Amino acid sequence: MDAKQEAEILGMKDAWYAALNAMLEGDPGPFSEIYSHAEDATYLSAMGSICIGWNNIWKDWQQQARDSRGGFTEEIESHIHMIGDVAVIHSLGRALLKEDTGAEGEHQVRETSVLHRDSGQWKIVAHHADALLPR
């Protein structure tokens, strides 16, 4: 991958974490900018749901935003693999989330995002997240 492509993919990775943090504050809006609105887009959340198609994905994020009690998430490390107009980002992330009790709980999540470049613009077409069990 050339430097321009790498910068674009890294920008999308950063936009993903910014969208997650906005959602934790109750605003799912940034996901609309970075995620594909295709009917075959998919999202498998760390909460256990599987959503197929933009409308279902959007409803899930809206619900997560309504249910959020705050917190933040950040990348620990990631690896990018690219084949033509498709990029796969494997990430390990850390989240500090407010629990029902008001206490903050730390969670680690492993994530895979699949991006596709269409008409010169990268969009996430699939995302999968799993919460890691404490060791």
Full set of structural domains in the chain with CATH: 3-131 (3.10.450.50)
Per-residue confidence band for 45, with pLDDT thresholds at 50, 70 and 90: confident
Average pLDDT over residues 104-124: 92
Does residue 111 surpass a pLDDT of 70?
A: yes
Does residue 128 surpass a pLDDT of 70?
A: yes
Output the CA torsion sign for 93, 67, 70, 133.
Answer: negative
pTM for the whole structure: 0.90
How many residues make up the chain in this entry? 135
Per-residue confidence band for 34, with pLDDT thresholds at 50, 70 and 90: very high
Residue 135 is predicted with a pLDDT of 62
Distance CA 41, CA 75 (A): 23
Average pLDDT over residues 12-28: 96
Rounded percentage of the chain residues whose pLDDT exceeds 90: 73
